[in-house]
Structure 1
């Protein structure tokens, strides 16, 4: 069955619209599992996309079901869901999946976080019972293609990611090492900064999900060693132990002493509100800290309230900011990645095309197996089979297998379709018929033998 995609991403809609569509998206696999129009569904939701990969006999009916489920889960009007989402089918949908998994369709080209998100999307579909063997194969192959691109190109080596770009932007606000000392402090209009060092800086990570782990890794690559984690869910201690960072104490106190705050909860309920941030700003002033409170908000459904972000002394680097300043990958790197991707997609399509002939292969094997069993029943069931009986059984088997194509060949000759039959015979059996054989008329024996 063909693959069909219902999607909205940072290319086609605003991040605000993506935020609205992403509400309740985690329930979509369960909503679609068992739906009569949907054989399989995998939902990939990230900071810059909401995508539903569907397998169904009737793609139109499956898309209707997916749109309805998305509208119900998000609370967005069904007509607006239809306007905000797009449809992609077949080979194009498969290629898009591979581009997404490889980071070629990302907000920051070459980012690696998407690989884990694809894996978790598949795990979520498994848990909901909404996946299928074809969807499993497509997503697993897309992940493998991503790993190959990471090895064969320099995209991954460049360390591109939403987190990395956001930290560099935040570093430019503070004029961290790596930023030109004689440059003006960064503003959203001033362009993208170079890679910076956070050596000697204090970082606070708000959240304990997958992006929090990526944030810790990105901070360490930028030489930050003082990292604390805070969580409203009580998971901070376990996360701190596994990531070897410090468990944060009071949120306002931690905000007061942090050089950079990375909020990546994405639960839909903002945790950095005006009251908490005002208390932190007052403590910063009391401590003589003139630098602004820089908050990187990586949540599609913001972790920082609008009121808090507007306070004097607060600078927020959000996904819109990252999108505006994301560095472009070099043409050579992207071209090589696309070449690898094309090879991997072709391999999947070839495999799928082969599998479509499974019923034919089974029918041929059943036919041959049945003829063989018939001949075996004529031989003694125990003891040694005399050579002449074995030879006779093989000759009977050969004659039986040759009979249908022989009859068909003569019928094709009578109907004037001899050349067509010869081509089909070579395609199916590998028997190459010489020109003299093909030209031999009724009652004439060919002057040359056929070859295999």
Structure 2
């Protein structure tokens, strides 16, 4: 299977390095698709992974091209990219996609956002014209496995999403910092986990209008937050607000928005911090003196919040590293069942692909039989009237033609001592039973051959 992946993820690479690699990673797809070794490419770039999936004519050349392209678009040296990335080929790639879609390879095991990220990565490849039938098949089957796991297990409940963990952690930090907010403990089968906090009565401001922003709005509503506003520097806040039934802040309304917020969740990731010290200081100056600390959760891989903001009085900042360190582990039983489902789906996928690999053989056999049949039909009377004897002769000639080459091959196999191999192959291909095939087979002649070899007459 000509599949390959070039990957860097949170398991082995620090988030700052992932940040550098992800800069411009989406542009790698169109550039790589023009390479002669690449038939198709899908790029997955998230807050904790950068992965380039390749349908390759030449796996080695495609991986090398992917490293060169990633270095170029991210502004990172080729040697540094090579030190940060790993690669896999063939079946390992398929298994990896299935595990990623299932949430088994995530920073928070069982998170559901990654399945949507995979679907959007495939959609982006479609729009760019860089996908291929093989990549389509792999990603769609991975989505099917993910849906089956969601229905058949409680993995998503046991290992919650990055957004959910961040909001629960923010609630706990807010309570410790002086906000009066309930933080009831959530208990799973393996003991207490991160508190699940309510944001009822709070005002939340979401920075960004992408997929994570939508997931954040949904997670806030599950936590009883009814006062949500969105801000975007691109001017897309109005459209997003209309789709999600939230308020929209004007482009120049960031400072007033921060000043009135209890919680800020940023998920833009454009690489240029918008919440810096001057902006935050201006917002803090507009807040009442007795206001609770402003809690800011920066979920962007490329920081939206300047690190210096955490040093300001009256501010609590959470970043991805903090969220990762507090992520709960999924229960072993749910993980095991999810892994079983991935294995079942993988076996089904590989079996189906193996069947499809024989399509050309099947077509060739049908063409061969069809040609022989057409030749016999051409010998029949043009009048269209065929008596029984003519039909029988035509069928005998057709059978003789179809059996000629197998018969020659059988005799050749017997002469070369490969008779049993031929019998087994014949049974596999034609369904002929051993009883039909064994009359005069190599087993019956084995003693004769042995006696002859020993110098005794047969």
Question: Which residue does the alignment assign to 2:178?
Answer: none
**1:279 Cα deviation after fit:** 1.1
Q: Is 1:284–2:316 an aligned residue pair?
A: no
Are the equivalent residues in 2 in contact too, given 1:172–1:179 (CA < 8 A)?
no
Query: Partners of 1:241 and 1:159 in 2: how far apart?
Result: 31
**1:192 Cα deviation after fit:** 6.1
Question: Which residue does the alignment assign to 2:319?
Answer: 318
Residues 387-430 of structure 1: per-residue CA shift (max 9 Å, x gap): 33233222221221122112221222222222111111111111
Question: Which residue does the alignment assign to 2:456?
Answer: none
Equivalent position SS for 2:156: coil
Query: Partners of 2:425 and 2:23 in 1: how far apart?
Result: 56
Structure 1 ranges of 4+ moved more than 6 A? none
Structure 1: state its 5+ residue gaps: 181-190, 443-452
Query: Partners of 1:334 and 1:241 in 2: how far apart?
Result: 38
Query: Partners of 1:84 and 1:411 in 2: how far apart?
Result: 56
Question: Which residue does the alignment assign to 2:94?
Answer: 94
Question: Which residue does the alignment assign to 1:270?
Answer: 273
Residues 140-192 of structure 1: per-residue CA shift (max 9 Å, x gap): 11111111111111113457100000000000012231347xxxxxxxxxx96
Question: Which residue does the alignment assign to 1:3?
Answer: 3
Equivalent position SS for 1:35: coil
Structure 2: state its 5+ residue gaps: 176-180, 186-191, 447-458
Residues 211-247 of structure 1: per-residue CA shift (max 9 Å, x gap): 0000011111111111111111111111111101111
**Cα gap change, 1:258 to 1:380, in 2 (>3 Å):** farther
Query: Partners of 2:194 and 2:143 in 1: how far apart?
Result: 31
Equivalent position SS for 2:38: coil
Question: Which residue does the alignment assign to 1:81?
Answer: 81
Question: Which residue does the alignment assign to 2:365?
Answer: 364
Query: Partners of 1:204 and 1:2 in 2: how far apart?
Result: 46
Are the equivalent residues in 2 in contact too, given 1:29–1:124 (CA < 8 A)?
no
Q: Is 1:117–2:117 an aligned residue pair?
A: yes
Query: Partners of 2:196 and 2:329 in 1: how far apart?
Result: 14
Aligned pairs for 1:221-370 within 5 A = 221-249=222-250, 250-286=253-289, 288-289=290-291, 291-370=292-371
Query: Partners of 2:329 and 2:61 in 1: how far apart?
Result: 39
Question: Which residue does the alignment assign to 1:177?
Answer: 182
Are the equivalent residues in 1 in contact too, given 2:269–2:300 (CA < 8 A)?
yes
Are the equivalent residues in 2 in contact too, given 1:37–1:58 (CA < 8 A)?
yes
Query: Partners of 1:2 and 1:309 in 2: how far apart?
Result: 48
Equivalent position SS for 1:200: coil
Are the equivalent residues in 2 in contact too, given 1:170–1:294 (CA < 8 A)?
yes
Are the equivalent residues in 1 in contact too, given 2:158–2:329 (CA < 8 A)?
no
Q: How many residues align?
A: 430
**Cα gap change, 1:64 to 1:436, in 2 (>3 Å):** closer
Query: Partners of 1:32 and 1:415 in 2: how far apart?
Result: 50
Residues 311-365 of structure 1: per-residue CA shift (max 9 Å, x gap): 2221111110111010100000000000000011111111222222222222211
Question: Which residue does the alignment assign to 1:449?
Answer: none
Aligned pairs for 1:13-52 within 5 A = 13-52=13-52
**1:440 Cα deviation after fit:** 5.2
